[in-house]
Amino acid sequence: CLTASFIADGLLGSAVTLASISAYVFVALVLVVLYEESGLIAHLTRGVEKLLNWIGLTPRGAVCLLMGISCNVPAIAGAKVLWGQANRTLTALLIPYMPCAARLAIFASVATAALVNAPYLIPLMVLLPYLISFAAAVTASGLYRKILKIEPKFVSYTPLAPIMPPRPKIYAAKLLLEFKSFLQKSGPALLLFLILLWPLKSFGFQGFVEDISQSFLAELGRAFEPVFTPLGLPWEVSSSLLAGWVFKETVLGMLVATGGMAMMPRLGIASVTSFLVFVSFYSACVATLLQLYITVSAKATFTSIALNLSAAYAASTAVYFLVSFVC
């Protein structure tokens, strides 16, 4: 049973996860390099260029942020092709504020479970984390520029070049170079982290366990429960956040396994909403953090982790008290 679990969940599961992330990265790079080589980005963003510059983004950086709504990893990988180190750094640091597709699944599932008696509020509960995340990204842009002393440089207004199809050989070479760089630099470390997650989910103080609520991962969730008590969140819910730090797709599975999902209707709208706001940008997953480290620097990566956690906790606390007051 132990060997079968290690092969199925530890090795094969990790390999499948890495393959799915790599597919996201490849598709994203296909689009980024296409936009880059064809000149399409300038045409798409010319109308909002001044607003983007005020936030600290170039048109190409804005495209990377939009890609982050699908998956943060390929979006940061795409930021590597941006012109200027300051532009690359700031864009990469803002991407973790974009809720990815995995977090959208969490928003929809948790909101549906919590609002069984008020389904008309589900769209609002799903939309709210996005609005707060975008506002947090704008605020974080100014903080990063002051803390890290970086200032993006923008090209002055120039006439729009005609849209041209990319040259196949140059396009393919650039695409393969970027994808190969991702596999070589991020692939091995990401696979290692995914494999290391298996013993945390499969072992507890009693040895090998089939019930994840008895695992070391659940025990870590219990240890962090006091941090989330002010938000009305028990360990069954908070433990899923630790699993999500490694990979956001594990949050829903952890909530179901620990009974946290079944508790959602009893937690109240304020607690559930604050949980979703916290999930929306509390921390990028390990895959994103690895790619962030490769793209920027260790200092910038740790600054990102600290600022994301602080901002997410502050925002979720404010939302909790505001919703409690209104409701």
Angle, helix 168-185 to helix 13-38, in steps of 10 degrees: 150
pLDDT of residue 166: 78
pLDDT of residue 158: 53
Answer for the pair 242, 221: CB distance below 8 angstroms, yes or no.
Answer: yes
pLDDT of residue 45: 58
pLDDT of residue 52: 75
CA distance 225 to 229: 6
Against a cut of 0.85, is the pTM above it?
no
pLDDT tens, residue by residue, 188-219:
766 777 777 778 777 888 888 777 777 887 88
20-48 b/e (C-beta count within 10 Å ≥ 16 → b): ebbebbbebbbbbbebbbbebbbeebeee
Q: Which residues in the chain show pLDDT less than 50?
A: none
pLDDT of residue 218: 80
Query: What angle (nearest 5°) sits at the alpha carbon of residue 187, between those of residues 185 and 188?
Result: 90
pLDDT of residue 10: 63
CA distance 235 to 267: 12
